[in-house]
Amino acid sequence: MDRIQRIGDVAEIMLDYVENKKTYQADNTMRVPTRSYTDHDQWRAEMELIFKRVPLMLAFTAEMPNPGDYKAMEAVGLPILISRDKEGKVRAFLNVCSHRSAPVASEGHGNCPRFVCKYHGWTFGQDGRLIGVAESRTFGDVDKAGLGLRRLPCEEKAGMIFVCLTPNAPMDLDRYFRGFLDDYDAMDFGKWTYLGSRVIEGANWKIAFDGYLEGYHFASLHPETIFPRTPSNCTHYEGFGPNIRIGFPQKRIAEALRDVPREQWGTQENNGFDFVRIMFPNVSTFIAPEITQVAQLFPGPTPEQNRTVLNYLRRDPIRDEEDRAQVETMIDFFRDVTYKEDYLIGLEIQRGLEAGAHDELVFGRNERGNQYFHEWLNWYLEDDPTRPEPKM
């Protein structure tokens, strides 16, 4: 089905939800063991069978658009280096020198023609090749061809850079996303402006991610920020493999679409309805007219912690210093809402789970996004590709 037609059909469904006080309904409720959020063995399995196997969105084209640009970061405890060479090709490596395992680039962004290890000065090209050994005359013979940076599977698509954290692992973005990235292509996401990021920390990564997957809590948890615009417990879900497009109608959807021809409803995102786009296992994107927030949730070093990078982008570049100041204010507002209204209660939930009051959590029929996420989580943890995949 044509993308615009499909979104228009979803808009029609959401209009019905608002007018008739309905929401998307799963067939049944779902129970999840509370130990899923506290158990060390499950946490280790999630790292090995999910985070180190699936494509992770680690950077934006807008974050490193020029030849020589790079980004060095930590993901799931691993030091990662993403580099764009002089021809514009993006590559990813473990940020680990082949001599004595020191980093070859400091964490953050930069632009350089080569990477030099600060420990002993070994030099690597943008393609990861070892091109220089300091004091080579006294060091002895080395096989430079076999001592490059350890490469990771990497692909740039739809304005984003995806990396698999296991060297030589297969990575097929088309099969994994199943048309989900078409929205980003249609928005010309690769040409947007990267505005910056904020980092927040919270409870178990799944506790935090559960909050991005439903709107059942809007009235009680966000009475002054989200609820005035978006009704609570009124949500639509679409699955694209393990990824989800979540539709949130606005309270004014009928008014917004009244004078828009039906065949154009699929072009009206942010005018009567919004989407949150979920990339399994750890990315949530909310595109608003003023600014876009993309949350990357990374499990912390223990099950009860997560580190979330909140990235901010928009279509237009920064105009002047006044515009930059306004953008920074808006970024801080989004960060504060996310942390104070979502992540703080997540820490309370973590304490509640560890108290052992209940053996299970229950996700309602109206929380299909959470159910679908946990179904796919369990599918990966079973590590059996012959098992039927979950369906929305």
**Can you tell me the distance from the alpha carbon of 276 to that of 271, in angstroms, rounded to the nearest whole number?**
14
* Contact in structure between 159 and 186 (CB atoms under 8 Å): no
pLDDT for the residue numbered 19: 97
Average confidence (pLDDT) over 311-325: 96
How much is the pLDDT for 271?
Answer: 97
Task: Please state, in angstroms and rounded to a whole number, the distance separating the CA atoms of residues 43 and 39.
Answer: 6
Whole-structure pTM value: 0.96
Domain count across the chain: 2
Q: Is residue 228 part of a domain?
A: yes
DSSP codes of every residue in 19-67: HHT-----SS-EEEEGGGGT-HHHHHHHIIIIITTS-EEEEEGGGS-ST
The pLDDT score that the predictor gives to residue 324 is: 96
* pLDDT at residue number 318: 96
Q: Is residue 160 part of a domain?
A: yes
CA 167/CA 211 separation, integer angstroms: 32
- Residue 289: what pLDDT? 86
Shared domain for 76 and 41, answered yes or no, is: no
Same domain, 157 and 91: yes
Q: What is the mean pLDDT of residues 128-132?
A: 96
CA 200 to chain centre: 14
Instruction: Tell me, yes or no, whether 389 lies in a domain.
Output: no
Q: Are residues 286 and 229 in contact, defined by beta-carbon separation less than 8 angstroms?
A: no
Q: Are residues 190 and 64 located together in one domain of the fold? A: no
Residue 388 lies in a domain: no
Same-domain check for residues 14 and 63: no
Q: In angstroms, rounded to a whole number, what is the distance separating the alpha carbons of residues 371 and 30?
A: 6
Give the residue among 194, 197, 230 at the shortest CA–CA distance from 215: 230
* In-domain check, residue 392: no
Cα(191)–Cα(194) distance, rounded to whole angstroms?
A: 9
- My answer on whether 72 and 204 are in the same domain is no
Structural domain including 77 reads 56-170
Among candidate residues 170, 192, 222, the one where a domain is terminated = 170
Mark whether 227 and 372 lie in a shared domain: yes
> Whole-angstrom Cα distance, residue 331 to residue 367?
28
Checking if the pLDDT of 5 tops 80, the result is yes
Residue 74 sits in a domain whose CATH number is 2.102.10.10
pLDDT in tens, 341-389: 999 999 999 999 999 999 999 999 999 999 999 999 999 999 999 999 9
340: amino acid identity, one letter:
K
Q: Report the percentage of the chain scoring pLDDT > 70.
A: 100
1 pLDDT more than 80 = no
3-state secondary structure of 306: strand
**Residue 387 phi, psi dihedral angles, 5° rounding:** -70, 140
pLDDT in tens, 249-286: 999 999 999 999 999 999 999 999 999 999 999 999 99
DSSP, residue by residue, 308-376: EEEEEEESSPP-SHHHHHHHHHHHHHHHHHIIIIIIHHHHHHHHHHHTTS-SEEEE-TT-HHHHHHHHH
Residue 171: pLDDT band with limits 50, 70, 90:
very high
Distance of CA 364 to CAs 5, 27, 116, Å? 29, 10, 53
pLDDT for the residue 62: 98
Q: Same structural domain for residues 85 and 101?
A: yes
What was the pLDDT predicted at 224?
Answer: 96
Is residue 320 situated within a structural domain?
A: yes
Q: Which of 143, 170, 197 is the last residue of a domain?
A: 170
For residue 66, what pLDDT is reported?
97
CB atoms within 10 A of CB 301: 10
Q: Are 115 and 81 spatial neighbours (Cβ–Cβ below 8 Å)?
A: yes
**Final residue of a domain: which of 122, 138, 170?**
170
